[in-house]
A = this chain, B = another copy of it.
């Protein structure tokens, strides 16, 4: 330790000294308490400005876990997934407007990491949490909800407890996609699923099956592959599909990373899309139009999901008693040229 870290903020005390009042009065000014003499207020406000005083958020949080405008936790499964990045953007915009800072935890689909982060979040005394839990029975998150921490779940709900949630119509969205495929005349339609224990993966599979049935198409079990929601598994499972003696003529990819992986495999094999194999994705990206070929995909309103979730959360923080709500957002089929 050669250098002394002199980095230090102005405190209430400094302001109080300068103003010749007690710290309590300064605190009142800061918190807009009505019980303060207008003249005193003006004097103190000037000093605050001069000294560039900003309240110490750490002390505030230590004192009052209910104080507003402080810290929100975000627990997401995979920051490499552009879908969650968009969700994050939505959250961030709302948080910023409400002067909340975000503590970001990317647990990369790893349950141990999730647990550690949840501990950290808890011990940081966050005011609220937006989480996409590993699965519906996530104990840690469930306990946190029970303990009274304001929480909103995105993308995945919780089953053992009543919690605010914002989701999309996964089943219907998947149905729309696969129905579109069927109507186009594809007969052997495959599904590459994300992590099967996620409700979203299961709902999309349900939609997939609904659509096959509605179009009187057979479900070929060898054409349903279960992966882990990541790029690699898209690469691998798509290869397995294409190497089948009787490969699919169309693929419904369970999320955007899987789609990208599948695309990579198809290109490596030199197959024409949609001529030799068609593909449709769940999750749109703003650059889907620049893919080869421009990708037809089910768009989830990711930014809105984040925005709604953050709004819900802040509303719950301010009103812990209000009943929980589920928001189910609609998806949209973006038709381009990959099928």
A286's partner among B6, B62, B124, B231 (CB-CB below 8 A) is B231
Contact of B123 with A54 in the complex, beta carbons under 8 Å:
yes
Instruction: List the B side residues contacting A101 at CB < 8 Å.
Output: 103, 105, 117, 120-121, 124
Contact of A89 with B85 in the complex, beta carbons under 8 Å:
no
Which chain A residues numbered 55 to 112 have a C-beta less than 8 Å away from chain B?
55-59, 61-62, 65-66, 71, 79-80, 82, 85-86, 88-89, 92, 96, 99, 101-106
**Complex CA distance for A101 and B124, rounded to whole angstroms:** 9
Instruction: List the B side residues contacting A3 at CB < 8 Å.
Output: 148, 320-321
A122 at the A/B interface (Cβ < 8 Å)?
yes
Contact of A321 with B1 in the complex, beta carbons under 8 Å:
yes
A32 at the A/B interface (Cβ < 8 Å)?
no
**Complex CA distance for A322 and B125, rounded to whole angstroms:** 33
The residue in chain B whose Cβ has the minimal distance to the Cβ of A337 is B292
Contact of A9 with B122 in the complex, beta carbons under 8 Å:
yes
Per assembly, the copies of the chain total 2
Contact of A7 with B290 in the complex, beta carbons under 8 Å:
no
Residues 263-302 of chain A, each 1 if its beta carbon lies under 8 Å from chain B, else 0: 1100100000000000000000011011111100000000
- A82 CB to closest chain B CB (Å) equals 8
A interface residue count range (under 10 / 10 to 19 / 20 to 34 / 35 or more) = 35 or more
Contact of B2 with A321 in the complex, beta carbons under 8 Å:
yes
Contact of A267 with B286 in the complex, beta carbons under 8 Å:
no
Q: Known interface pairs A6-B147, A85-B85. Does A293 touch B292 (Cβ–Cβ under 8 Å)?
A: yes
Contact of B125 with A58 in the complex, beta carbons under 8 Å:
yes
**Complex CA distance for A5 and B99, rounded to whole angstroms:** 22
Instruction: List the B side residues contacting A6 at CB < 8 Å.
Output: 147-148
Contact of B294 with A267 in the complex, beta carbons under 8 Å:
yes
Which chain A residues numbered 109 to 146 have a C-beta less than 8 Å away from chain B?
113, 116-117, 119-125, 144
**Complex CA distance for A291 and B119, rounded to whole angstroms:** 41
The residue in chain B whose Cβ has the minimal distance to the Cβ of A289 is B264
Q: A5-B149, A7-B147, A57-B124 are in contact. List 10 more A-B contacts (CB 8 A).
A: A1-B321, A6-B147, A7-B65, A54-B123, A89-B106, A96-B116, A101-B124, A102-B105, A291-B292, A292-B293
Write the residues of chain A forming the contact surface with B, with a CB cutoff of 8 angstroms: 1-7, 9, 54-59, 61-62, 65-66, 71, 79-80, 82, 85-86, 88-89, 92, 96, 99, 101-106, 113, 116-117, 119-125, 144, 147-149, 231, 260, 263-264, 267, 286-287, 289-294, 319-322
